[in-house]
Chains A and B, each alone.
Chain A
Amino acid sequence: MTDPAAEIALPRMTTDADGATAKRRADNGGTAAGRAAAAQAVAATAVEAYPRIVAALIRITGDWTLAEDCTQEALARALDRWPVDGVPTNPAGWLMAVARNRLLDVLRRASVERRKLRDVAVLALTAATAEPVPDEEVVDDRLRLIFTCCHPALAPQARIALTLRTICAVPTADIARAFLVSESTMTRRLTRAKAKIADAGIPYRVPRGRALTERLPGVLGVLYLLFTQGYDADGEPAFAEEAIRLARLLVRLMPEQQEARALLALCLLQHSRRAARRDLDGNLIPLDRQDRTRWDHAAIVEADRLLAGLTQPGPYAWQARIAACHATASSAEVTDWRRIVDCYDHLAQVQPTPVVALNRAVAYGYAYGPAAGLALLAEARAGGGLDGYPLTLAVEADLVARQGDRERAAALFRAAADRVHGAAERRALLERARRG
């Protein structure tokens, strides 16, 4: 059933990178402009429709691979037909109908029990009205999908991979590249994760009450990891956009969850700097030297609005407030470091991790001088939790430099550069070592 060549890369992810898709299009009738317009229509529809269709088909059959395959095939059909027949009046309904028919075909041939077929038939009737299915029900399906993909009984990396593959329709090869494994390894991981969902009886359901409170941070954690995977200097930039899209969806579906809103704000604020954080050679530019006119100010305003309504700030809210302090300062010099220190004091209480302690030391260094920063740095290091974390040395180097000991600072920057993994980060640290 799973034919990797049939996997459609949504044009939004990898524009025309899929050879099979490009070939299929070239074999078709229609003008080049018509084909391009149809491909665009497919991509635009798929962004919203793909997770809805996959989620609905999984609910009905419980078979993840089958649901994905049928949805992919519907997209392939659209790329074939729309250039010739024109874009249908209800493109999402068209995709749902084709995916559902494909599913019916497969189920009939497999002669599964009648109950499942009947359920599919109900769906068919709903889709045939050409009206979108009542919003509440569909919304619930996508939320179910997110919570199941992010279930704590799945391995952490499998949660991210499954989210990317099933909800965002990212091709397996792209996910494999981001995780530095071969495509066949990633295919096996995804297969294993789907098998565990079935074998262990992981439910396709949004938890309620206490269970929801316990599970939501895990879901947000997956989305944030996805974001950083995309935002990291050597990461897959499209993943950051996917994370923001999913966070938006979560905010829309669970407007009462403040930490979901805070996470969206945090991602928007970090992402707002994407155009300004590299020079022409791809080297990272530190925050204080970025051209702030190139920041995405619309995203910053949106994040600010999200944060304004929060009454019970959690870890993401404090991180987002810190990011907002940087984003709204017109220059590095006027940054309100005392306000940032205040946020870090709160963050350190709700999220007492070594890295938070390290960043808090940086904030104190800017707000109250390098000596205050070094004192907190010693405290943060005392537990041993920062041993082997390369940025600790970079922080110490910066504080020492501002105390005037340039020689020692340069040595520390070089030591930090030796320990980081990313090439862009290494170049940035060596540049600091040269500048003194």
Chain B
Amino acid sequence: MKYMMLVCTDPEPDPEPSNHPDVEVWVAENDAAGRRLQGAQLAPASAATTVRVRNGQLLVSDGPFAEVKEMIVGFDLLECTDLDEAIEVARAHPMAWAGRIELRPFADFEQ
């Protein structure tokens, strides 16, 4: 199954940064195992642009579409057998400690 792993900030991170895992190790391990198909860090929300079309009119505005404390700062696309494996991958990412991670399965239209 494919999971979009949304990497987010969190106002209440784990208090002991020295325990947090290393992101390079995480990427290397999951790339080698074929569990990480791709991923990237995103520029800060201040660089975001929102695009809408209403009544045929283009509306472009500055900033992210919603002001939230948990901002998406990156993503990784995972290929895992099931949710438990995806959870194991996510827990080993440093941002599970310093922020939070949301796992979103790809919609399956063949069901």
Residues of A participating in the B interface, judged by any CB pair closer than 8 Å: 151, 153, 198-203, 205, 207, 211
Contacts and interface: CB of A to CB of B under 8 A. Distances in A.
Interface of B: 1, 3, 80-84, 86-88, 103, 105, 107-108, 111
Nearest to A202: B83
Contacts of A151: 83
B83 A200 contact: yes
B111 A201 contact: no
B105 A199 contact: yes
A203 B82 contact: yes
A205 to B, nearest CB: 7
Contacts of B107: 199
Q: Please list the 9 inter-chain residue pairs (A to B) with the smallest Cβ-Cβ separation, ordered nearest first.
A: A203-B82, A201-B82, A201-B1, A201-B83, A202-B83, A200-B83, A203-B84, A200-B105, A201-B105
Contacts of B83: 151, 153, 200-203
B111 A202 contact: no
Interface centre among B81, B82, B88 (most CB of A within 10 A): B82
Contacts of B87: 153
Interface centre among A151, A199, A205, A211 (most CB of B within 10 A): A199
A118 B84 CA distance: 27
Interface centre among B3, B81, B84, B105 (most CB of A within 10 A): B84
A202 B83 CA distance: 5
A153 B3 CA distance: 14
Contacts of A198: 111
A201 B83 CA distance: 5
B105 A211 contact: no
A199 B82 CA distance: 10
23 contacts: A151-B83, A153-B83, A199-B107, A199-B108, A200-B103, A200-B105, A201-B1, A201-B3, A201-B80, A201-B82, A201-B83, A201-B86, A201-B105, A202-B82, A202-B83, A202-B84, A203-B82, A203-B83, A203-B84, A205-B82, A205-B84, A207-B84, A211-B84
